[in-house]
A = this chain, B = another copy of it.
Amino acid sequence: MAQHPFPIETVAIALGDRSYDIQIGAGLLARPETWAGLPKAQAAMIVTNDTVAPLYEAQLRTALAPHYKQIHTVVLPDGEAHKDWQTLNLIFDALLARGCDRKTVLFALGGGVIGDMTGFAAASYMRGVPFVQVPTTLLSQVDSSVGGKTAINHPLGKNMIGAFYQPVRVVCDLDTLKTLPERELSAGLAEVIKYGPIADMDFLAWIEAHIGALMAREPAALAHAVKRSCEIKAWVVGQDEREAGLRAILNFGHTFGHAVEAGLGFGVWLHGEAVGCGMVMAAELSQRLGKVDAGFVTRLKALIERAGLPVRGPVLHASDNAGDYIAHMRLDKKAVGGDIQFVVINGPGQAAVQGAPDAVVRDVIDACCA
């Protein structure tokens, strides 16, 4: 086999005996070295959805064939609406029907929903089997495949039931992003942009300079964006695996974004779209709390807009929109005893978690909703 022209980048996630590598590169699915050294087992189970399966399932199956005697596949319905117990149980049904033992390796082939559900299934099946993330969306490559958060939704709340459970490897094949719908590419960029204001203003400047290349899906630009995002997230998660403190800064834009998603009904706006306008609101809040200047807010807003994302929040309630936002935010998992916790920018490249006076939050919402 000829040398592949595009290098493989690796980000090491250091979590003691739960450490693992993220591999980033073009054409990884087809490269034999990608799949070397995984845990030995009789059987592998590919978990994917009905959108991704026709695109990449055969390729992954071929790649895994030298390593596992049996390769099973379970195809779930696509979409956040199916991130529930009923769908999760399809994975358990398949594992048990095929007599899969506690060494079976699960492969999550798809976006964040597939990753979350496969991860929770792996955490829970026989109290834990190994799993590999093969994220095929930008969002899952830069965010949900790093950090070991797995979950399903409950009718009364998103991601309410889950586990902290680390994969044994993450394989980010940039070629899989070629088939990503435009809207999902933008949604992924929201999480890429996020890492700038909370941790690395040089990276923010790099994104501003390369937003065109990213929107055009140029592999070199995507590789750097994915790698740097994973590095920053790894640095944060490495210090706070179970979200006792620092890790919460990764939720920049997510508190307001959560209200958008919950208020409109989950799935109406993509998560990344809600985070897009949520970051504008969180930046606006930071400014009103005297932590950043107006120029910072304008700059961030312009980049979010160039990434094809909404910069204004939707109106959730005709007469008391701010009240509706606040009510949703109080129910957020991150609220403590009913007090909403916001990630604010303490200064460019530095974030902190804190409460804020209701009146200020109301002003922000009033100023930022269309």
The stretch among A153-161, A313-321, A342-350 that forms the contact with chain B is A153-161
What residues on B are CB-neighbors of A124 within 8 Å? 124, 161-163
B336 adjacent to A162 (CB under 8 Å) = no
| Beta-carbon contact of B162 and A96 below 8 Å | no
Instruction: Mark each residue of chain A from 251 to 270: 1 if its CB lies under 8 Å from any CB of chain B, else 0.
Output: 00000000000000000000
**A163-B125 in contact given A96-B157, A337-B101 (Cβ < 8 Å):** no
Chain B CB within 8 A of A164 CB: yes
Closest to A150 in B: B127
Cα distance A99–B336 in the bound complex, in angstroms = 10
Least Cβ–Cβ distance between A209 and chain B, in angstroms = 37
Task: Say what secondary structure dominates the interface of chain A.
Answer: mixed
CA distance A99 to B331 in the complex (A): 7
Contact in complex: A156, B126 (CB < 8 Å): no
Looking at A48-56, A85-93, A130-138, the stretch in contact with chain B turns out to be A85-93
Nearest Cβ on chain B to A128's Cβ, whole angstroms: 7
Structural contact, A333 and B123, CB atoms closer than 8 A: no
User: CB distance B101 to A127 under 8 Å?
Assistant: no
- Taken residue by residue from 158 to 177, chain A's Cβ proximity to chain B (1 for < 8 Å, 0 otherwise) reads as 00111110000000000000
Task: Specify which of A124, A157, A162, A242 lies most central, judged by the most chain B CB atoms within 10 Å of its CB.
Answer: A124
CA gap between A313 and B126 in the complex, in Å: 27
Distance, CA A97 to CA B156, complexed state (A): 8
Q: Nearest B residue to A97 by beta-carbon distance? A: B156
Distance of A242 Cα from B160 Cα, bound (Å): 25
Best-surrounded residue of A97, A103, A157 (most CB of chain B within 10 A): A157
Q: Is A302 an interface residue (CB 8 A)?
A: no
Structural contact, A126 and B242, CB atoms closer than 8 A: no
Contact B99 A89 (CB under 8 A): no
Question: Which chain B residue lies CB-closest to A334?
Answer: B102
Question: How many angstroms between the C-alpha atoms of A154 and B149 in the bound complex?
Answer: 24
Interface flag for A12 (CB, 8 Å): no
**Set of chain B residues within 8 Å of A99, measured between Cβ atoms:** 331, 338
Contact yes or no, B102 A333, CB < 8 A = yes
Q: Tell me the A95-110 residues at the B interface (CB within 8 Å).
A: 96-97, 99, 101-103
Contact assessment for B161 and A125 in the assembled complex, using a CB-CB cutoff below 8 Å = yes
Cα-based distance from A100 to B225 in the complex (angstroms) = 38
Q: Are A242 and B96 in contact (CB under 8 A)?
A: no
Q: Which residue of chain B lies nearest to A243 when distances are taken between CB atoms in the complex?
A: B127
> How far is A335 from B126 in the complex, measured between Cα atoms in Å?
12
Q: Which residue of B lies closest to A339 (CB)?
A: B101
| Interface CB pairs A-B, < 8 A, 9 | A92-B160, A92-B161, A93-B156, A96-B156, A101-B335, A127-B151, A127-B162, A127-B164, A127-B242
Interface positions of A (Cβ within 8 A of B): 42, 85, 89, 92-93, 96-97, 99, 101-103, 123-128, 149-151, 154, 156-157, 160-164, 242-243, 331, 333, 335-338
The 4 closest A-B pairs by CB, nearest first: A96-B156, A127-B162, A124-B161, A42-B337
